[in-house]
């Protein structure tokens, strides 16, 4: 991407920029987005699968997200829709500062107008940006859920190497080339695994009252606070995750598939809560497979395919396929139930073309990028 292209845009007057059109509610507080991702690419170093002799297999980069752009304005709920495996959860992880050891991340991310790097993103997790994770396994199995919601989870509470709930921390070092204008390998936090979040013996009454309020709102009996995660049903555990994200006062919530396991009434209530959260001047990035529910609450929709956003547009444009730009997005419109699941004959061709567009570009090495004088 062009160096500092983000800073050269007058966000207060441009109605189409950063690869998306505005919704009627879109506005730039202080002249910038609340959250902006530019040119994000994520690849993983993998062993060559075609090599029959495993120990002789070469390691090679496999790009999963390619040149991705997405933004959230203050007061806005942006829904991300797309097939499983298209890279939606990886985007959420990148914004939260969570990277696997074999990941290489390139791109630029701004939060509230300030450009971030891997370390600052990790510091924002739970302190400005909260995550509703996709899996209920993010709950600490050894701690009662009431203490987790109140913020007593420790750094040792991890699942698959990742920390739990909405404040991920890890002692690993991640390769973040050209991420936040640096080519250094940046440790997200201290490698001292003995550090923990200090426990508060007696939470403030306001937090206890907030906990009771959230439990009542999501039909959770008070005694749930004294239970361990394995004692909850799947739907109850998902409601606990919602309580974790809404407990404090973040500026942005990233909700990664927050409604599976919830009945329709509770799912709508949860999305209405996200809508109310955005209406208060904050932002929500909603990752979902349920396009119908997303269209009900979102301001704009970003369509994912093969590791990138192929179209980011206002919900109003889903009123007709004629107002949608990409063939794949139009195919999604035709496949909605109210349109009788009519999938055009060229839908497969559109998906294939999208895959070709996003995977045909070779991954440049650092040497190539520096030689050509191009920014990451």
Backbone angles phi, psi at 137, to 5 degrees: -70, -10
Which run of H or E residues covers position 77?
Answer: strand 76-81
- Exposure of 145 in the CB half-sphere (CA atoms within 13 A): 31
| pLDDT score recorded for residue 71 | 93
The SS3 call for residue 58 is coil
Residue 75 makes CB contacts below 8 A (sequence gap 6+) with 25, 27, 278, 279, 280, 281, 282, 283
pLDDT at 18: 52
Sequence-ordered list of residues with C-beta below 8 angstroms from that of 361, at least 6 positions apart, any chain: 66, 67
Rounded to whole angstroms, the Cα distance separating 361 from 358 reads 7
Do residues 169 and 287 make contact, with C-beta atoms less than 8 angstroms apart?
A: no
In this structure, are residues 218 and 242 in contact, taking their beta carbons and an 8 Å threshold? Answer: yes
Q: What is the pLDDT of residue 333?
A: 87
CA dist., res. 209 & res. 223, Å (int): 15
**CB neighbours of residue 294 within 10 Å:** 21
In Å, what is the CA distance from 269 to each residue of 242, 301, 337? 11, 20, 22
The pLDDT of residue 345: 62
Over the chain (376 residues), the average pLDDT of each successive run of 10 is 42 49 56 88 87 78 92 94 85 91 93 92 90 90 92 46 38 39 31 35 67 92 95 91 87 92 87 92 92 91 90 90 89 82 59 42 31 33
CA atoms of 82 and 257, how far apart (whole Å)? 11
Provide the CATH topology of domain 19-48+57-363.
Answer: Rossmann fold (3.40.50)
Position 365 scores a pLDDT of 31
User: What is the spatial distance between Cα 176 and Cα 241, in angstroms, rounded to a whole number?
Assistant: 29
Alpha-carbon dihedral of residues 129, 42, 89, 168, nearest 10 degrees? -40
User: Residue 79 pairs with which residues in a beta bridge?
Assistant: 286, 301
**Diameter over CA atoms, the chain:** 63
């Amino acid at each position: 991407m062009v160096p500092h292209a983000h800073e050269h845009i007058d966000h207060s007057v441009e109605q189409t920029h950063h690869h998306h059109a505005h919704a009627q509610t879109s506005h730039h507080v202080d002249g910038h987005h609340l959250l902006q991702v530019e040119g994000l690419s994520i690849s993983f170093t993998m062993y060559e699968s075609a090599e029959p002799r495993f120990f002789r297999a070469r390691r090679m980069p496999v790009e999963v997200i390619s040149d991705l752009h997405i933004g959230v304005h203050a007061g806005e709920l942006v829904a991300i829709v797309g097939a499983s495996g298209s890279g939606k959860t990886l985007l959420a992880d990148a914004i939260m500062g969570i990277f696997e050891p074999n990941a290489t991340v390139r791109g630029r991310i701004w939060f509230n107008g300030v450009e971030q790097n891997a370390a600052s993103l990790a510091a924002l997790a739970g302190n400005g940006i909260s995550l509703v994770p996709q899996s209920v396994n993010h709950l600490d199995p050894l701690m009662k859920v009431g203490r987790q919601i109140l913020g007593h989870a420790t750094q040792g509470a991890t699942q698959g190497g990742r920390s739990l709930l909405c404040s991920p921390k890890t002692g690993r070092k991640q390769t973040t080339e050209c991420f936040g204008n640096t080519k250094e390998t940046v440790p997200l936090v201290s490698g001292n695994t003995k550090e923990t979040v200090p426990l508060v013996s007696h939470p403030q009454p306001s937090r206890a009252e907030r906990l009771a309020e959230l439990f009542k709102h999501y039909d959770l009996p008070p005694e749930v606070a004294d239970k361990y995660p394995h004692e909850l049903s799947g739907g109850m555990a998902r409601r606990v995750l919602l309580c974790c994200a809404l407990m404090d006062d973040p500026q942005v919530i990233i909700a990664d598939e927050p409604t599976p396991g919830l009945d329709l009434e509770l799912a709508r209530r949860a999305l209405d809560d996200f809508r109310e959260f955005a209406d208060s001047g904050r932002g929500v990035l909603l990752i979902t497979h349920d396009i119908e529910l997303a269209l009900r609450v979102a301001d704009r929709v970003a369509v994912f395919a093969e590791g990138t956003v192929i179209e980011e547009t206002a919900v109003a444009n889903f009123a007709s396929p004629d107002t949608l730009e990409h063939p794949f997005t139009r195919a999604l419109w035709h496949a909605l139930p109210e349109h009788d699941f009519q999938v055009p004959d060229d839908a497969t061709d559109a998906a294939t073309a999208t895959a070709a567009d996003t995977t045909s570009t070779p991954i440049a090495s650092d040497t190539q990028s520096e030689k050509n004088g191009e920014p990451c």
